[in-house]
Structure 1
């Protein structure tokens, strides 16, 4: 399946594999410009992912990549730190990525998530080189396996579950007005569904009523 993904094309002349190599070349391009040192001596590169994505996009445009290639290139560079966050938690605190975290990752990355997972493993090896411990490598593999299993084996559960409610349901049943709040609530319901807290339309409606009541109290 991964081989099929890498062999797929976003342009008639180039494969997804070629684009991943290009993204890997540029994923840390803005590190020198964002380097800072904390009082503790820790070196940080805050914002290098977002700034690097913009720079990679400009370079891709100069090379006349297709719009689909540019979109995926920007996604890969922009989100390349997300898998590392979960690997660090797994290695340090033995915490697996939550179902919500996996859902949010693929919601933001889509098919580029597969590229991000492969890049994360390569980046992990390159970062630690000969100092990479078995524990850290195992944590990286476990995290990436969890994300890949969700994408390839459990998409209906953790990537794109069927909607329990839609905007018309919220307008009809809860008298909500069309607007951004409906989209926000539907996304929250989707996350609760992925987390296995909601399974039926009735449960989703009850949750929505409670959410609206809480929102009104906050206002």
Structure 2
């Protein structure tokens, strides 16, 4: 095969060869070469131990060196090209990662051959190598053929592979999303039979795979694979629970199918890099995925065959917060996604009866920095097949956004505050700090929301009128 290989890879390979060591480009970079993609993050493996190749990497990495992965046999370095492009390399000693049945962390043992190292990798499409500097293509498990077929298959028996490293099952569904591949039947069956094994993997590692899946070009395909495999029953059980039985008269939508449509629509509504919701946006995509998880718990069959899901937004927000915390997502992600789930029905009343300016201000204030995401989630959630209803909804949302834009020209509704602050309230009323100040502040905030900005004298008069009413 003909390869156009990174000159840095050739140079590093020669540096290893000069010291008597083997070096091979492995994994994703080799796969991407065959897919005609380019990467600036290069993964290598070698028969040299970290203490042996550390001096080589330090000489190679003019602009950076790191050793956070030393206990796993991995060191990294970075250099910057004249055009400013960064090329990052990581070198790992031939190895085997094996989980103790009762441990959440892999034990690392070193191997002694390139083929042995490749046999321990997750899938054949990642078990190809290119030796450097001589550029020999090494493919002992038919990875190039599987790449051509767009199939994910383990290099060794899948039960052994997933037993050695259960996280590979999560990587399988992630690659479905990232690469658009399918999982080979025997490999898929092994995942289904071994889903409980994922429980020994740390929540952080599962979260990282889920995040990569959601930020891919095809998150829906990955989510569906996660559910079909049974892995979601363990790591994200709220999603397969959305597959509610449809009543015999088909009077309500299947919630899982609806959610998948909302995920697709939310992705399509993300903006360019300079827009309010640049793609890919993890918070919006998580909110689209989780927005209806409260429905199974709140489903009620009403008289006449109707089905209701009262308060599924509030229930779903609590469930979302609990699940994302369990998966160790960052606090700000947990809070933002939970808030979006809680708010995702807020706009619907506008369609039936346009809001007052005060209601529009409250909507913007409650959404806060999530305003742009909330509007996109709301639009994505409007999946009705009734063309007339769909057009009415779009028109109402367009109208509301136009009103917000006009209000923003007149006042700073993104950061609404009362016309009098706490110090001014205490000075006007002659009171000391305490609960009454907070009560007055809240009243003045409500007044501001209802009436928009007013002049100082009007605000003072309203404060005194309110204070007088408290004494009655």
TM-score (norm 1): 0.77
Rounded to whole Å, the distance in 1 between the matches of 2:403 and 2:301 is: 33
Q: 1:25/1:196 Cα in 2 relative to 1: closer, same or farther (>3 Å)?
A: same
1:22/1:162 CA distance change after superposition, 3 Å: closer
> Tell me, what secondary structure is at the counterpart of 2:439?
helix
Q: Larger Cα Rg: Structure 1 or Structure 2? A: 2
TM-score normalised per structure 2? 0.38
**Equivalent pair of 1:103/1:191 in contact (CA under 8 Å):** no
> Structure 2: which 5+ runs fail to align?
1-269
**Cα RMSD for the two superposed structures:** 2.8
- Counterpart position of 2:395: 138
Distance 2:348 2:447 in 1: 24
Pick one of 37, 40, 43 that aligns with 2:307: 43
Secondary structure at 2:355's aligned position in 1?
coil
1:117 correspondence with 2:372: no
Matches of 1:63 and 1:190 in 2, distance apart? 37
| Aligned: 1:19 with 2:283 | yes
User: How do residues 80-95 of structure 1 correspond to structure 2 at under 5 angstroms?
Assistant: 80-89=344-353
- Structure possessing the higher relative contact order (Cα contacts under 8 Å, 6 or more residues apart): 1
Distance in structure 1 (CA, Å) of the matches to 2:363 and 2:439: 17
**Higher helix proportion:** 1
Match of 2:317 in 1: 53
State the secondary structure of the residue aligned to 2:415.
Answer: coil
Secondary structure of the corresponding residue to residue 82 of structure 1: coil
Deviation at 1:190, TM superposition (A): 3.1
Contact preservation (8 Å) 1:155, 1:161: no
Counterpart check, 1:170 vs 2:425:
yes
Q: Which residue, 459, 462, 465 being the options, matches 1:204?
A: 459
How far the C-alpha of 1:73 sits from its partner, in A, is 0.6
Aligned match for 1:7, one of 278, 285, 288:
278
Tell me the CA shift for residue 131 of structure 1: 4.4
- 1:159 match: secondary structure: helix
Q: Distance in 2 between matches of 1:140 and 1:40?
A: 32
Q: In the TM superposition, what is the alpha-carbon distance from 1:155 to its structure 2 partner?
A: 8.0
**How many angstroms does 1:184 deviate by?**
3.1
Give aligned pairs, total: 200
SS at match of 2:347: helix
User: 1:22: how far off?
Assistant: 1.3
Matched, 1:129 2:400: no
Q: Distance in 2 between matches of 1:56 and 1:205?
A: 43
Mapped contact 1:192–1:198 kept (Cα < 8 A)? no
1:104-160 residue CA offsets vs partner (Å, 9 max, x unmatched): 223322111221111111111x1x12444333432233234434x268x44844332
Residue 106 and residue 138 in structure 1: after superposition, are their counterparts in 2 closer, same or farther (change >3 A)?
A: closer
1:35–1:150 Cα change, 3 Å: farther
Distance 1:197 1:67 in 2: 33
SS in 1 for 2:448: helix
Q: CA deviation at 1:71?
A: 1.2
State yes or no: 1:79 paired with 2:337: no
